[in-house]
């Protein structure tokens, strides 16, 4: 099997390498076990813990990322600022902050929990399935991003109107609207009514 972000190993604290494991959860988000990352996404999918981050600049514009073409799942499509999976036992907040820095080279100046959402989104292109219990976070970014090219193809800051226009003409991740809609109350609280979210 080729080495991809889904099948690669990561180093543990004792220096050994091991497959990337995800935390399996029940419908209430209670941990019930673990599964290897790619196996958890094979149809019909295993419900697992995930997170989605929405970062905004001082003008209330959302930072989008275009997923790198080398990604095993949904390559080349636009999505929210950052999304991923906590390691087993890792707090979703810590995972969200960690992956935002790893993918975009930036630490949010503010990051706050914005609820959870549960969804089931098959990806027609890859045949993989996102069965996720997703922890949502919103925040601010006040420094330039420095994306990891293996993770991120492009980035863009967009207003609510610009997002609607872009979404109508460019491919977005299957889960994007689900997580955006679930996070909207917190986004509106963060950005204020004039931003239009």
Catalytic residue numbers, as ranges: 83, 132
Within 13 Å and on the Cβ side, how many CA atoms surround 182?
Answer: 22
192 contacts: CB under 8 Å, gap ≥ 6: 60
CB atoms within 10 A of CB 40: 24
CB 147 within 8 A of CB 64: no
CB 135 within 8 A of CB 120: no
């Amino acid at each position: 099997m080729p080495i991809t972000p889904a099948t690669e190993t990561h180093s543990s604290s004792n220096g050994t390498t091991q497959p990337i494991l995800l935390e399996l959860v029940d419908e209430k988000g209670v941990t019930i076990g673990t599964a290897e990352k790619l196996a958890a996404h094979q149809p019909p999918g295993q419900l697992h813990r995930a997170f989605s981050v929405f970062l905004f600049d001082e003008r209330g514009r959302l930072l989008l990322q275009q997923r790198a073409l080398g990604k095993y799942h949904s390559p080349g499509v636009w999505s929210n600022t950052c999304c991923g999976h906590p390691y087993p036992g890792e707090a979703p907040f810590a995972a969200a902050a960690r992956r935002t820095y790893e993918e975009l080279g930036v630490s949010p100046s503010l990051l706050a929990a914005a609820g959870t959402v549960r969804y089931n989104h098959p990806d027609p292109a890859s045949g993989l399935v996102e069965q996720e219990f997703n922890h949502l976070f919103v925040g601010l970014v006040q420094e330039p991003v420095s994306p990891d090219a293996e993770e991120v193809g492009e980035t863009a800051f967009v207003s609510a109107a610009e997002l609607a226009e872009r979404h109508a003409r460019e491919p977005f991740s299957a889960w994007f609207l689900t997580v955006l809609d679930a996070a909207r109350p917190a986004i509106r609280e963060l950005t204020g009514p004039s931003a239009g979210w």
